Amino acid sequence: MTLVFFDMDDTLLAGDAEAAWANYMAKNGLMKEEGCKEKIRKFDEDYRRGELDFSVYTEFLLAPIKGMTVEEVQDIVKPFCVTIVEEFKDTTSKGLLEKHLLDECLITSGTLSFIVKEVASLLGIETFFGTDPEVQEGCYTGKVLGKPNFGEEKVRKIENWLGDRSLIETVAYSDSINDLPLLNFSSKAVVLNPDSKLREVAVSLGWEIDDSRITV
């Protein structure tokens, strides 16, 4: 059995669930900060260049739910995630899930963990890692618990989860240069419609490149 690591946004899903969540909050009055849509666009550009300040970005996303209870947020997130999976689960998503049906799969994403949890459940994946928000007395504080789940942090969480378990084969899927540590950690790396920096690395290292989502 192979252990498979899926990045979520723009990899296992054909879209960015966290950007969709930010836009949802802005549209529905949860995100009241002036110029929030422009900030969301700038964060996305920085991420795709591999230059995003993950802590600043995550706290920006957590600010609107500061003081809300876990239950209040869950009531909003559950239907949101159903809609997002219906929209972003495409033929490539289905093909990847079918290909690894008999393997052990996990999702590791920089997206807030309460979103990753719902998406993973809807996709039939039990194990997941995301960026954990801090909760005190049942309410979100607006801060991150630990470090945002990007870059080396993805590898650290997986290693802690694995413990002393020995692995024969691992496969990692991602679209982003930010996941280079995860791809290097795995015995096989597959990049899906990668950003320009990751494509350059993948070509130089002979990694598999899946461009199935590119439309002419």
What architecture is domain 3-210?
A: 3-Layer(aba) Sandwich (3.40)
Q: State pLDDT tens for residues 34-48.
A: 677 788 788 888 887
**pTM (global) more than 0.85:** yes
| pLDDT more than 90, % of the chain | 78
Structure confidence at residue 215 as a pLDDT band (50, 70, 90): low
Domain ranges of the chain: 3-210
Angstrom CA distances, 155 to 13, 57, 140, 160, stand at 21, 20, 26, 9
Residues 188 and 171 sit within 8 Å (Cβ to Cβ) = yes
Q: State pLDDT tens for residues 95-145.
A: 999 999 999 999 999 999 999 999 999 999 999 999 999 999 999 999 999
| 3 state SS for 111-137 | EEHHHHHHHHHHHCCCEEEEECEEEEC
Amino acid code (one letter) for 128? F
Angstrom CA distances, 159 to 22, 155, 181, stand at 30, 6, 12
How many C-beta atoms lie closer than 10 Å to residue 152's C-beta? 12
Q: Please compute, for residue 26, the number of CA atoms within 13 A of its CA located in the half-sphere on the CB side.
A: 17
